[in-house]
Amino acid sequence: MTATTGSSRRIPWLRLPRGDERRTRRVDRQAELDRELAAVESETPSIDIAPHDPVLAYFQGSPEPVLVDQLRIESPGVQALRDAGVTLVVPLVTQGELIGLLNLGERLSEQEYSADDRKLLENLAGQAAPALRVAQLVREQEAEVRRRERYEQEMRVAQLIQQNFLPKQLPATSGWEVAAFYRPAREVGGDFYDFIDLPDGRLGIVVGDVTDKGVPAALVMASTRSVLRSSAQRLVEPGQVLERVNEMISQDMPPNMFVTCLYGVLEPSTGHFRFANAGHNLPCVQTEDGAVEVRATGMPLGLLPGMIYEENEVVVEPGRTLLLYSDALPEAHGPEGDMFGFPKLVEVAGVSGDDVIDELLTELDRFTGPGWEQEDDITLVSLTRAAMAQDAFASTGDDPGRPLAAFTIPSAPGNEREVMERVADVVSGLPIDADRLDRLKTAVSEATMNAIEHGNQNRSDLLVEVRVFASEQALLVRITDQGAGGSVPDSIGDPDLEAKLRGEQSPRGWGLFLIKNMVDDMNVFDDEDHHTVDLILRMDGDAHG
């Protein structure tokens, strides 16, 4: 704007642009500057100086312009500057930190840089260094924001993948209570668990952990789970299943990543659990003396092909619990830095009832205290076998003796033969002659058939429980079904054929009469939920001749 002949007028070529025009010109100018900077950078020779090169320490300690030919430092950096044709170096130092170098070649006039030139460059460097540092910090902050956004998005995707591959519901296995707990850490890990329905009512159980975090770990988890499921349907032995899974995933496993995994097969009717272990935590099973860990070894999945996986087995007794878990709980740190530890986990699991998971989480909260930041995903899976019916024989004051066996079978016709043979095998070492053993087998078969047909109504989801005890005086076989309690006669009289034909007696009762005459004694007990028959064979003779 200027004034002429006492009046003012707007000069067109100095007209101020409107707001949108200013924004457009500013964007265009910034784009032009970016293009010019890119062109300069592309034409400027790249000079790489290692972070620990001694010349950098020299530049940081002497921030005035330096003639390269006068440097007497033996370093690759100095040689790189000379090879690039640099004559003068002006260090850019702010707050004692070297943030860059202003490199100049020979003057176009071919004259040397004067003292005034170097003083001017030193002043320029003093003003440019702080501005350059601010620009670096802004660029670093923008890059950090973008990195954090990408990371958070990756975590959301990983969580979605992981949650979609965890079981939506727990298996309803007759005679068992299955519980699972999963709590992810702030950073999504690779924990997973799964239940696989197998032929003959068996249940496959998987607990695993993928190293690393984020989307890669979640994808490896999903792939491992899929291969494991398909392999479990084709192969019987847990060790063979893990061998096949290892072969399948080893060829595509990302670097520095592997999977620890425990896979086992549970027979619900017997409590028999056979498993193989690929570098995972050992399963923990409750016993009369507390909980114990059951060992099986093997390399994690995905490290090397051709691995063999050791198998082991354990029987979960009625009323006891099998616990599978990942390493986050035992490796949790308390306020003093000490770990929760495997011994403590086993100790808590051993004294807990059927609420092992709740007890462990309560103890974990007590150990870590308030404000604890969870370091890894916590995964817990428990399988609790239903307790046997109330010990009716013990209520009479008699000692049933030492336990020889305890198992269950589904209530399916024909399973009485399996019970008969298993009981015969259990008592084979006792002093019972062949005739008495045959009569015991008949009584066991008949009592089991009654339990299947009349007590459990031939429902295969209901179990018949069998327990065998022995003392110096007697052998006790206890057979319990899940029929509703009711009135049980104090004694069983001899059936009257004529009375039955006339309809004066129930047509039933022949089975109990037969059973009673096959053994030395028989007791029948009911409670609100169970019906129990005790078959007693005395060791001191044959009451029935």
- Could you tell me the CATH number of the domain that includes residue 506? 3.30.565.10
Contact in structure between 211 and 257 (CB atoms under 8 Å): yes
pLDDT tops 80 at residue 332: yes
Picking from 69-73, 235-239, 247-251, 526-530, which range would have the lowest pLDDT averaged per residue? 526-530
* Residues β-bridged to residue 312: 275
Contact in structure between 220 and 210 (CB atoms under 8 Å): yes
* Residue 143 one-letter amino acid: A
Q: How confident is the model at residue 8, as a pLDDT?
A: 34
Whether residue 322 sits in one domain with residue 181: yes
- Look at residue 509 and give its three-state secondary structure: coil
Q: Where does a domain end: 385, 410, 439?
A: 385
Whether residue 421 sits in one domain with residue 512: yes
Whether residue 143 sits in one domain with residue 54: yes
pLDDT tops 70 at residue 3: no
- Residue 35 is assigned to a structural domain of this protein: yes
Whether residue 56 sits in one domain with residue 8: no
- Residue 251 is assigned to a structural domain of this protein: yes
**76-83 vs 54-61: helix axis angle to the nearest 10?**
80
End-to-end CA distance of the chain: 134
Q: Could you tell me which of 232, 224, 304 has the C-alpha nearest to residue 264?
A: 232
Within 10 A of 390 (CB to CB), how many other CB atoms are there? 15
- For the chain, what is the radius of gyration of the CA atoms? 41
| Percent of the chain residues past pLDDT 70, beyond the cut | 80
User: Encoding tokens for residue 265?
Assistant: 């097969």
State which residues form the domain around 82.
47-154
Whether residue 416 sits in one domain with residue 381: no
CA distance 464 to 416: 10
Whether residue 28 sits in one domain with residue 146: no
The residues, ordered by sequence, that sit 6+ positions from 310 with a Cβ below 8 Å of its Cβ are 239, 276, 277, 296, 297, 298
Q: How confident is the model at residue 286, as a pLDDT?
A: 92
Give per-residue pLDDT as tens, 252-304: 888 888 999 999 999 987 889 999 999 999 999 998 888 899 999 999 999 99
Whether residue 192 sits in one domain with residue 331: yes
CA distance 132 to 251: 48
Whether residue 341 sits in one domain with residue 213: yes
- Residue 127 is assigned to a structural domain of this protein: yes
Q: Where does a domain end: 385, 407, 431?
A: 385
Whether residue 334 sits in one domain with residue 251: yes
- Residue 244 is assigned to a structural domain of this protein: yes
- Residue 160 is assigned to a structural domain of this protein: no
Whether residue 77 sits in one domain with residue 121: yes
Dihedral, 64, 67, 70, 75 alpha carbons, nearest 10: 80
- Residue 75 is assigned to a structural domain of this protein: yes
Sheet strands side by side (includes 402-410): 402-410, 463-470, 474-481, 531-538, 521-526
Whether residue 273 sits in one domain with residue 360: yes
- Residue 208 is assigned to a structural domain of this protein: yes
User: Encoding tokens for residue 328?
Assistant: 């986050």
* Residue 258 one-letter amino acid: F
Find how far residue 185's CA is from the centre of its chain.
12
Q: What is the mean pLDDT of residues 99-115?
A: 84
How sure is the predictor about 188, in pLDDT bands with cuts at 50, 70 and 90? low
Query: Which H/E stretch holds residue 81?
Result: helix 76-83
Find how far residue 409's CA is from the centre of its chain.
31
- Residue 62 is assigned to a structural domain of this protein: yes
Please state, rounded to an integer, the average pLDDT across all residues of the chain.
Answer: 80
Enter the pTM of the model: 0.55
Whether residue 32 sits in one domain with residue 81: no
In the block, residue with structure tokens 């007028």: 9
* Residues β-bridged to residue 182: 379
SS (H, E, C) 151-194: HHHHHHHHHHHHHHHCCCCCCCCCCEEEEEEEECCCCCCEEEEE
Q: How confident is the model at residue 140, as a pLDDT?
A: 83
Contact in structure between 325 and 380 (CB atoms under 8 Å): yes
**Total domain count, the chain:** 4
Q: Sort residue 491 into left (φ over 0), alpha (ψ -120 to 50) or beta.
A: beta
116 φ, ψ (degrees, to nearest 5): -65, -40
Q: Where does a domain end: 350, 385, 420?
A: 385
Query: Which H/E stretch holds residue 356?
Result: helix 356-368
